[in-house]
Amino acid sequence: MIAANLPAGVTQDMVNEGQKLYGTVCVACHGAGGAGSPAAPALNDGQWLWVPGGEFNGLVNIINVGVPQPKQYPGIMPPKGGGSFTDEQVRAIAAYIHALNNRSGA
């Protein structure tokens, strides 16, 4: 996926790495390509329950701390989605999720 409108400090390489990491843990609840599931919201539709506007640093934070009391879905999200991601990997996952909502037409 080619990302557009990347925040300062976020690169296409981070998006690519984040896509791989997303597929290891996040996909189980948030679905392929961030399409969502009965357990967790879509991450590709521009609608945000916890991070207004899908702001990058907000995404990093919510991935790190998790969602212990979901607003609309039955499954909680543990810190780091239950994975053992490094800070750099969390930033890459956030870059991928940000990119899901900011794709280039190329």
CA dihedral 9, 99, 77, 41 (to 10 degrees): 150
Number of domains in the chain: 1
Kindly report the CATH number assigned to the domain that includes residue 25: 1.10.760.10
Query: Does some domain include residue 33?
Result: yes
Task: Give the C-alpha separation, 101 to 44, whole Å.
Answer: 5
Closest to 27 measured CA to CA, from 72, 89, 70, 82: 82
- Model confidence over 14-71: pLDDT tens digits? 999 999 999 999 999 999 999 999 999 999 998 888 887 788 999 999 999 999 998 8
What does the pLDDT read at residue 33? 96
Q: What are the backbone angles phi and psi of residue 70, rounded to the nearest 5°?
A: -60, 150
Query: Does some domain include residue 26?
Result: yes
Domain that holds residue 29: 18-100
Query: Does some domain include residue 74?
Result: yes
Query: Does some domain include residue 13?
Result: no
